[in-house]
Amino acid sequence: MAETKKGYGILEELARLADSVQNLYKGKTTLIFELEKDEFNRMQEFFKDVDENSKLFKIDISGCEFIYILNSPSDES
Tens digits of residue pLDDT in 10-38: 889 999 999 999 888 888 999 999 999 99
**Domain boundaries, given as residue ranges, for the chain:** 2-75
- 22's CB contacts (< 8 A; 6+ apart) are 29, 62, 63, 64
Contact predicate 33/68, CB 8 Å: yes
Distance, in Å, from the CA atom of 75 to the CA atom of 17, rounded to the nearest integer, reads: 28
Tens digits of residue pLDDT in 33-57: 999 999 999 999 888 788 888 999 9
Q: What is the pLDDT of residue 1?
A: 37
